[in-house]
Amino acid sequence: APAAPPPAPAPASTPAAAASGAKKPSAATATSPRAKRAAMLRTRQASRSYSQATATAFAALAQLSNCYNKPGIYGALGTTCSLPIFGSDSVCSAAGFYSVPGSLWVQSQKGWGLQSVKLAPVSSTSSFKAGVALIFHAQEPAYAELVPLPGCEGCLVDMEYLSMADAAIEAARWALPDCATAMMADNAAAAAQMIKELCSVYVTGHGGGAGLAQVVAYKLKSMPYRIETSYLFNAPKVGDEKFAAAMAGALSGAAPQPGPVINVVTGRGSEWPTYPTYKPYKAWAYEAYYPSNSSSSMTAFCAAGDATCGSSQARATVGEKPNACSHALAPGGDLCGFSVQQCYLGWPAAEAGNED
């Protein structure tokens, strides 16, 4: 088993740290009527951030993570996320953004992979915010041990996910936005504005990659990168109740917090937020629920664990992993699908077959 991560250094007292909203997360459980109303309001605000077109584009990016660093990934990403060509949109330009040519960076390690690419709005009228997308792929860990998460008081996360997250952040440092200017700002207000303009990051992935993205998002939030509205697919639980509460507070999408981070689940994949089934793992974030692969729109948007969520009604079977691949928004309905043409010849995700 991987060694437990070393203790985190004491947080620096800088204007940028203050501007990022970094503070000790509350471990209190929202049980009072006032807290419940506040949670409902946050969920309603988060639902306004959801865009099916953008989620569909991110699902295509998550599918491309299966190619790791195969030679076709550069062409596949470029054609999947190109600007409109002869008036025809790519899946990404239809959502208002495209991948900046030449910006793809790929890292592949034992157990996990990362693709980093710069995204930009297709026009000045697009609401999409320029930033760096981190696309994760990871093998499912053994869920053997929960360990303390540095910088999050009382929080426990899966040991293997934390180890992978530390390695992924270290490997991707040069590919992340340059926030040095924000770190040197004279005051918190100036730092906040610079972080908003210069330090935007998106995270995505499916199954184990979505689990890894959760831990990375929390750690980047305090560095002080700004996590923009991001979409995960069939994401499992990765930590305990205190970590879930800290994540919900730090990446809720409610002003002035960044985010939200949304777990988009469908069909049997809706069981993923309930996996692993044993305590003390706890689901977090918001869920956009699609009942089946043939669903054309979501039927519920709710806070993780809410009884009205489709995932709360599709409980995972003890000892059995849910299907992380099947998804209504994925090209071909399969997040794990890829083909020789896609990974070696650079065909776009939307045109690739589903040959595992």
For residue range 234-284, list pLDDT tens digits in order. 888 899 989 988 888 888 777 667 789 999 988 655 455 556 666 688 888
Backbone angles phi, psi at 149, to 5 degrees: -95, 110
Pairing of strands 112-121, 97-99: antiparallel
- Distance (Å, whole) CA 179 – CA 75: 29
- Distance (Å, whole) CA 91 – CA 81: 6
- Distance (Å, whole) CA 106 – CA 123: 27
Overall pTM surpassing 0.85 (yes/no): no
Span 111-117, average pLDDT? 93
pLDDT in tens, 136-157: 999 878 777 899 999 899 999 9
Look at residues 251, 168, 250 and name the one whose alpha carbon lies nearest to residue 208. 168
- Any idea what the Cα angle at residue 298 is, between residues 325 and 327, rounded to 5°? 10
- Distance (Å, whole) CA 291 – CA 216: 28
Looking at residue 97, what is its pLDDT?
97
Half-sphere exposure of residue 164: CA atoms within 13 angstroms, side-chain side: 30
Q: Is the four-CA dihedral 210, 157, 179, 195 of positive or negative sign?
A: positive
For residue 276, is the peptide bond before it cis, meaning its omega torsion is within 30 degrees of 0? yes
